[in-house]
Amino acid sequence: MELGLHSLHPLEQIWCLGCGIRDFGESRASRRRGARHRFHHHPGAPACGWSKRGNQNQKALGRSRGGFSTKVHVRTNAEGNPLTFDITGGEVHEVNAYEALMELHDVNPRKLLGDKGYDSDAIRADLVERGIEAVIPPRSNRTIQIKYDREAYKHRNLVERCVNRIKQYRRVATRYEKTARAYLSMLSIAAALLWVRTVNTT
């Protein structure tokens, strides 16, 4: 103290030590505020705070009606078995995942079944170029309604049933993984387990 050293300042910032000594002589109202972690009155991050690691764009998380969530986009075959996945934030529209689902699996089917979320002129034009029949009901706000195969569209429930089977794995339904890459790995493992059930082991 005679030499004017301040060796306890780092400890005070972390463990709130020495607040009684520092508040000596102050008014009772100022002592009610407790220990001050900074030695100035300007806002800023605490000295012992952790910095973020720059993986905010790798989490595929977003705000939707259900809250903080991740949206899983699935493409299946005619039997309802998963072929490929893509994940986005919960608020991202289905149209943004179309290209990833088509590029990750290069087999072009005769018909592609999708809900109204995939009703886009760009998607329909791409399907025509690929030689695929679009079985997608038109949105209600279209000025000209587009006809589609209603009987074939009844089989779209296979996709919903596939998603239901995948969500039976708790790690997929609740998403414990921090990054999108780790979560896609868990989805791939769950899909592999579903495919194993279809293999004839006899």
The answer to whether 115 touches 136, Cβ cutoff 8 Å, is yes
Least confident of 2-6, 74-78, 90-94: 2-6
What single-letter DSSP state applies at residue 73?
E
Q: Could you list the residue range(s) of the whole structural domain that residue 37 is in?
A: 1-51
Quick one: pLDDT band at residue 5, thresholds 50, 70, 90?
Answer: low
CA distance 38 to 20: 15
Residues 38 and 71 in one domain: no
Token pair 């296979």 in the structure block, residue: 158
pLDDT the model gives residue 33 = 47
Residues 126 and 166 in one domain: yes
Whether the CB-CB separation of 75 and 98 falls below 8 Å is answered with no
Pairwise CA distance, residues 73 & 93, whole Å = 10
pLDDT higher at 184 or 106: 184
Q: How many Å apart are CA 70 and CA 72, to the nearest integer?
A: 6
Q: Which amino acid is at 129?
A: E
| 201 lies in some domain | no
Q: List, in order, residues 6 or more apart from 31 with CB less than 8 Å away.
A: 23
20-29, 50-59, 85-94, 109-118: which is most confident: 109-118
**Cα–Cα nearest to 163, from 91, 75, 66:** 75
Given this model, what pLDDT does residue 108 score? 81
Amino acid (one-letter) located at 87: I
Share of the chain above pLDDT 90, in %: 32
* Per-residue pLDDT, 10: 47
Say which CATH number the domain at 74 has: 3.30.420.10
The pTM for the full model equals 0.64
Q: Is the pLDDT confidence value at 20 over 70?
A: no
Does the pLDDT value for residue 1 go beyond 80? no
The 10s digit of each residue's pLDDT in 155-195 is 999 999 999 999 999 988 888 888 888 898 999 999 999 99
Is 202 part of a structural domain of the chain?
A: no
pLDDT-derived band of residue 145, with 50, 70 and 90 as boundaries?
A: confident
State whether 64 and 134 are in the same domain: yes
Instruction: Kindly state whether residue 17 falls inside one of the protein's structural domains.
Output: yes
Nearest to 18 by CA among 4, 29, 7: 7
What average pLDDT does the chain have? 77
Q: For the purposes of burial, counting CB atoms within 10 Å of the CB of 41, is it exposed (0-12), middle (13-18) or buried (19 or more)?
A: exposed
35 with 119, same domain: the answer is: no
